[in-house]
Amino acid sequence: MYPWLVPPYHRLQQQLQRGQLAHGLLLSGIQGMGKRVLADHLAKTILCQHAINAPCKQCHACQLHRAGNHPDYHLLSGQGANIGVDTIRSLSRVLAESARLGGAKVALLDHADKMTEAAANALLKTLEEPAGQACLILITHQPERLLPTIRSRCQQWALGLPAADQVLTWLAEQGLEANTAILNINQGSPLQCRDYLNSEADNQRLSLLQDFVALPAQPQRLPQLQSAILAQPVTWLWLHFLLQDALQLAQGLSHWLKMEDCRALSRQLSARGGHQLLAAITGLRRLEQGVNLPGGRPLNRSLQLGQWLNQWITRGEKLAG
């Protein structure tokens, strides 16, 4: 289990030992926190046949869970577009049955926010009147998308972000070199930082931002930069952070930059002045909102971005002149 999950797990474990753990739990937190890992570990603890030192990893229940065929453990991954009413009704029927091993029953509903309204309403009765020792664990990074009636019937556990030092230490233990800029880009999410670094996206970030700063002096590189920005959604965030840091430096504020590792680039852009930088940020935000509209055509996206970059070049040339 990930180190930042140990404290919340111990609190859940204490609730279980005291008989205070609700039959309906809602685990929430941003993506990349390992919510499902925590839920699965709690499920093993509930299903373990030994009350002390659970999960013991030795009993029949633990062995079945490790093999992936515990009859009283049920997982709905929610990987599709939505979770329909038939799926929830089927789960409710399973939970209403007697436990095969004579103990508890546990169900994990990952991406619970994908339930349709009919599915959520079908789940209400199970949450209100669980059969036997049934525990239903809902997992989501968007709890606000769940019906209020679902949320109110669950014991809610919101996972906060771990401290930056803990995340950086853990990443170093995985053989990954990170910094505060990478944490900020990934909202402090440990697993998102790990995946980001493993994808080698950070090399792309530094290269793209260098090209953006140099664009007024090298306008011939516009098509290449344009394609790189359109290639993945995170590039918009990189540009936002760079421009925001530059604006902050232009205003004489040198602390708490989003991308400290790009301070030199931000300092270079800060020479453009606050008015120009604010206009660029506003234009980028409008552009991003337009680009993300459903049904937008790639040609329009490219055209709009090209216009914004050309404006950036023109203003830079005027400043240089």
According to the model, what pLDDT value does residue 291 have?
54
According to the model, what pLDDT value does residue 318 have?
58
In the numeric block, the tokens 């999410």 are attached to 189
**Distance between CA atoms of 207 and 33, rounded to whole angstroms?**
28
According to the model, what pLDDT value does residue 287 have?
86
User: How big is the chain by its Cα radius of gyration, in Å?
Assistant: 25
According to the model, what pLDDT value does residue 51 have?
80
Query: For a pLDDT cut of 70, what percent of the chain falls above it?
Result: 95
Q: Which residue has the higher pLDDT, 35 or 298?
A: 35
Phi, psi of 23 (to 5 degrees): -80, -15
According to the model, what pLDDT value does residue 319 have?
56
**Distance between CA atoms of 196 and 182, rounded to whole angstroms?**
8
Q: Check whether 289 has a pLDDT greater than 90.
A: no
According to the model, what pLDDT value does residue 62 have?
95
Q: Which residue has the higher pLDDT, 296 or 83?
A: 83
What is the average per-residue pLDDT within 254-268? 95
What is the architecture, at CATH level 2, of domain 3-160?
Answer: 3-Layer(aba) Sandwich (3.40)
According to the model, what pLDDT value does residue 72 have?
95
Top-tier CATH class for 200-320: mainly alpha
Q: What is the pLDDT of residues 100-149, one digit of tens each?
A: 998 899 999 999 999 999 999 999 988 987 777 899 999 999 999 999 99
The confidence band for 293, taking pLDDT boundaries of 50, 70 and 90, is very low
The confidence band for 191, taking pLDDT boundaries of 50, 70 and 90, is very high
**Distance between CA atoms of 153 and 23, rounded to whole angstroms?**
9
According to the model, what pLDDT value does residue 299 have?
47
Phi, psi of 32 (to 5 degrees): 85, 20
Q: What is the pLDDT of residues 205-234, one digit of tens each?
A: 999 999 999 999 999 999 999 999 999 889
| Residues contacting 186, CB < 8 A, separation 6+ | 32, 192, 193, 196
| Across 44-48, 113-117, 303-307, least confident range | 303-307
| Across 49-53, 150-154, 163-167, least confident range | 49-53
What is the average per-residue pLDDT within 281-285? 93
Please, what is the average pLDDT of the chain? Answer: 92
Q: Whole-prediction pTM value? A: 0.88
Q: What is the pLDDT of residues 62-91, one digit of tens each?
A: 999 999 999 999 999 888 889 999 999 999
Domain limits, the chain: 3-160, 165-196, 200-320
Beta-ladder partners of 134: 105
CB neighbours of residue 86 within 10 Å: 11
According to the model, what pLDDT value does residue 125 have?
87
